[in-house]
Structure 1
Amino acid sequence: MPDCLFCSIVAGDVPAFRVVDTADGVGFLDIRPVFKGHVLLVPRPHVGQLSDLPAALLPGYFALVQRVAAAVPAALSAQGTFVAMNNVVSQSVPHLHTHIVPRTKGDGLRGFFWPRTKYASDEEAQSYADRVRNTLGAAL
């Protein structure tokens, strides 16, 4: 889809801090993370929302979600993750994406209020992407 930001990231036309790039999907850091290391995972083809994802793509996509959700806490010394997706409402980019957010008890996240932060630099963002990518590679 020509005007879709996430399609442009998948195609490599827009830079992103990638953590995984497979036939099943592409994962990259959210540029406005809830917590540092917050990954967005998208299917390669343009799919607007979960109900539009072809059944044939479900197993591979959700297996990748599962792998990334396991890698994020291992890579970042977090206790767990918050995994979520919006469909239409609160979906800032109309391309299906799954949020995988590192969590630690007492981190201050309550309910669906998602305070946002920023990376101090591209180098800091790249270090988070590298840590998750390296952990994913070790888990293959």
Structure 2
Amino acid sequence: MAETLFTKIIDRKIPADIVYEDDDCLAFRDVAPQAPVHVLVIPKKPIASLDGLADEDRGLAGHLMLTAARIAGELGLSEGYRVVVNCGRDGGQSVDHLHLHVLGGRSLTWPPG
């Protein structure tokens, strides 16, 4: 996979407002937030999109979801939040690196877009 904006953040070539990090993932505030709280959770393993997950990534995929929930709790989103994964250009994915959006801090409408 080619170097992306997110791999540059992982490698600390680009600064980010990091809210969580462990051996497998990194979470940071989105630079163009769509809600009062908008955090991206990304795997450190280079995976282009949700479609790029393999059977061997089951544990990582679960870890990303659990991390999203943990971050939501730590950021005080007790009234609710949304986790979004965009996949492909038509799905709204703008960076070819798997990422989960954690959105909250206000009432979120449906449908989203």
TM-score between the two structures when normalised by the length of structure 2 = 0.81
CA RMSD of aligned residues (A): 2.1
In the alignment of these two chains, the number of paired residues is: 111
Per-residue deviation, residues 77-108 of structure 1 (Å, max 9, x unmatched): 4411111111112111111111111254xx25
How many Å separate the matches in 2 of 1:78 and 1:31?
23
Distance 1:81 1:70, change over 3 A: farther
Match of 1:91 in 2: 93
Contact persistence 2:37–2:105 (CA under 8 A): no
Tell me by how many angstroms 1:66 deviates. Answer: 1.9
Match of 1:42 in 2: 42
Contact persistence 1:73–1:81 (CA under 8 A): no
Tell me by how many angstroms 1:58 deviates. Answer: 2.6
Match of 1:32 in 2: 32
AA in 2 matched with 1:58: R
Tell me by how many angstroms 1:71 deviates. Answer: 3.3
Which entry has the higher C-alpha Rg, 1 or 2? Answer: 1
Tell me by how many angstroms 1:42 deviates. Answer: 1.0
Query: What stretches of structure 1 of length at least 5 have no aligned partner?
Result: 114-140
In structure 1, the residue corresponding to 2:104 is in which secondary structure?
Answer: strand
Distance 1:81 1:108, change over 3 A: closer
In structure 1, the residue corresponding to 2:35 is in which secondary structure?
Answer: coil
Query: What stretches of structure 2 of length at least 5 have no aligned partner?
Result: none
Per-residue deviation, residues 47-79 of structure 1 (Å, max 9, x unmatched): 111121233233134223223324314522441
Determine which structure has the larger strand proportion and give its number.
2
Contact persistence 2:83–2:103 (CA under 8 A): yes
Tell me by how many angstroms 1:15 deviates. Answer: 0.6
TM-score between the two structures when normalised by the length of structure 1 = 0.68
AA in 2 matched with 1:17: D
Provide the identity percentage. Answer: 26
Matches within 5 A, 1:2-81: 3-81=3-81
Distance 1:21 1:61, change over 3 A: farther
How many Å separate the matches in 1 of 2:61 and 2:17?
19
Determine which structure has the larger helix proportion and give its number.
1
AA in 2 matched with 1:40: L
